[in-house]
Amino acid sequence: MKILLLHQYFLEKNDSGGSRFNEFSRLWAESGHKITVLSGMVHYSTGLKDAKYRNKYTYFDEGFYDGVDVIRCHVSPSYNKNFIGRLWGYFSFVLSSLYAGIFRVKNDYDVILVTSPPLFIGITGYLLSRLKKIPFVFEVRDLWPESAIDTGILTNKILINFAYKMENMFYKKSKKINVLTPAYKTKLIKEKNIKEEKITIIPNGVDFAKIQSENTHFNINEFRLSLGFQDKFVITYVGAHGIANYLMQIIKTAEKFKNSNVIFQLIGDGMEKEMLINESKKRELPNIIFRNSVSKKEVFKYILSSDVGISVLKKNETFKTIYSNKTFDYMSCKIPILMVIDGISRSLVQKVGCGIYAEPENIDSIVTAVELFLLKNSKELKTMGQLGYDYVTQNHDRGNLSKEYISLMKSIIRQ
């Protein structure tokens, strides 16, 4: 099968961040499928563009993986300046990806897979579907525009109305809609009036074979020693440092443990990172460590060497419907989770017994959760980690999920 994937934030090789479709596309190609990706030139968390893309409208990266070609498309350099710049960054990609889809991609694809956010990538998917007479699947990784509204990113009523109309059109015109959580499905059925049979759930997952092969000879104790963690209780956050994450919660919590053996390690990049570093220095916090984004291979070493993984977002209604993809990475590394996200993420951790919940933006609650972890012995922590690992292996193995996605795409070809 030939798949045309539209994903503005498809990662570079060995890049950090959400690698859902990097891993899906690699697995699909290994099974004999051919994938072409239309993606942007700007990294989703840093807003930066690699030097090789400068002064280029499209950049063809043939053989990105065996069986996977990537066409990088122009994104306006104003992307990371302000809201208007970010909005133009989205629409500049719509234009450049549409150009690439028309003039640089053949018409012999079987299916178009569009993954959002940003929502406006659906414009490219819909138009290419019409022009090339190819059915398309629309995936919802994050409810948009709700999440942008709840975080204060989108406030203009005209733009909000336009975004809702676009969203409704994409849902209607797509052959199938894939969502990442049951809560998304419920919301689409009850609030968006989408027929249940049109919606599937293929969630985030973990590539266990890759983790095991890359960390076979990894010595956790030696790595902890090299980082100075031998007598520390390490709580690690991996992910974007953006508005939605509101990592000031971690800074304020770390201040409460300033004179203890608790270390908070933050790995990643984003628009808020510089502010967070400055705030940490101002508060003179020796127990906060900031690290730049590292490759997927390397990041698992940091997670495996931690005592607890923390998943955190701002407190709002939309975020009650999501699973943080890093939660599954923590589970795959057999470490317990400090869950600072309400809703289905909270329910997951409590149901599985693999972590402790703390109320978002409630520092006293987060501090109490950390203290509860400190009261547990190593056997209790290990049991929590094992419960998370058992759950994620049974329900979120990316190899199995990739096969489900192929079955989904094949089903719309036969319609």
| Contacts (Cβ under 8 Å, ≥6 apart) of 22 | 10, 11
Task: Please tell me the distance from the alpha carbon of residue 278 to that of residue 275, in angstroms, as a whole number.
Answer: 5
Residue 223's domain spans which residues? 208-395
Q: How many Cα atoms are found within 13 Å in the side-chain-facing hemisphere of 277?
A: 13
The pLDDT tens digits for 87-137 are: 888 899 999 999 999 999 988 899 999 999 999 999 999 999 999 999 999
Provide the β-strand partners of residue 308.
235
**Tally of domains within the chain:** 2
Q: Say if CB 116 and CB 144 are below 8 A apart.
A: yes
Mean pLDDT of 285-298: 91
Secondary structure letter of residue 369 according to DSSP: H
Residue in the structure block whose two tokens are 């203890």: 260
Instruction: Say if residue 65 is in the same domain as residue 193.
Output: yes
Q: How far apart are CA 49 and CA 20, in angstroms?
A: 21
Q: Are residues 151 and 277 in the same domain?
A: no
241 and 197, same domain (yes or no): no
Instruction: Give the DSSP per-residue string, 196-265.
Output: GGGEEE----B-HHHHHHHTTT--HHHHHHHHT-TT-EEEEEES--STTT-THHHHHHHHHTTTSSEEEE
The predicted pLDDT at position 86 comes to 76
403 and 278 in a single domain? The answer is no
User: How far is CA 221 from its chain centroid?
Assistant: 29
List own/partner pairs for 124-132 with CB under 8 A and 24 or more apart: 124/6, 124/38, 124/94, 124/97, 124/98, 125/6, 125/170, 125/174, 126/169, 126/170, 126/173, 127/98, 128/4, 128/6, 128/98, 128/101, 128/102, 129/173, 131/102, 132/101, 132/107
**What confidence tier does 156 reach under pLDDT thresholds 50, 70, 90?**
confident
Predicted confidence at residue 311, as pLDDT, reads 98
Per-residue pLDDT band for 145 (boundaries 50, 70, 90) equals confident
Q: Within this chain, do residues 250 and 141 fall inside the same structural domain, yes or no?
A: no
Query: Taking the CA of residue 137 as centre, how many other CA atoms within 13 Å lie in the half-sphere pointing to its CB?
Result: 30
The answer on pLDDT for 85 being more than 90 is: no
Q: Are residues 52 and 190 in the same domain?
A: yes
Task: Give tens-digit pLDDT for 313-353.
Answer: 999 888 999 998 899 999 999 999 999 999 999 999 999 99
Per-residue confidence (pLDDT) for residue 224, from 0 to 100: 95
Name which of 314, 176, 347 is nearest 327 in CA terms: 347
Whole-angstrom Cα Rg for the chain: 21
Are residues 249 and 360 in contact, defined by beta-carbon separation less than 8 angstroms? yes
Q: Are residues 360 and 280 in the same domain?
A: yes
Output the pLDDT for position 208.
75
Task: Check whether residue 221 and residue 330 sit in a common domain.
Answer: yes
Q: What pLDDT is recorded for position 206?
A: 87
DSSP assigned state of 12: P
| Structure confidence at residue 388 (pLDDT) | 97
Same domain, 200 and 214: no
- For the chain, what is the mean pLDDT? 92
What pLDDT was estimated at residue 133? 94
DSSP 118-155: STTHHHHHHHHHHHHT--EEEEESS-TTHHHHHTTS--
* pLDDT higher than 90, residue 361: yes
So what's the pLDDT on residue 216? 62
Instruction: State how far the Cα of 189 lies from the Cα of 174, in Å rounded to an integer.
Output: 15
* 93 and 218 together in one domain: no
What number of helices (H) and strands (E) belong to the chain?
Answer: 16, 14
Please tell me whether residues 280 and 372 are part of one structural domain.
Answer: yes
Same domain, 313 and 296: yes
Over 70: is that where the pLDDT of 226 sits? yes
CATH code, domain with 75: 3.40.50.2000
Q: What is the pLDDT of residues 31-58, one digit of tens each?
A: 999 999 999 998 776 667 888 998 899 9
Confidence label for 213 from pLDDT (cuts 50, 70 and 90): low
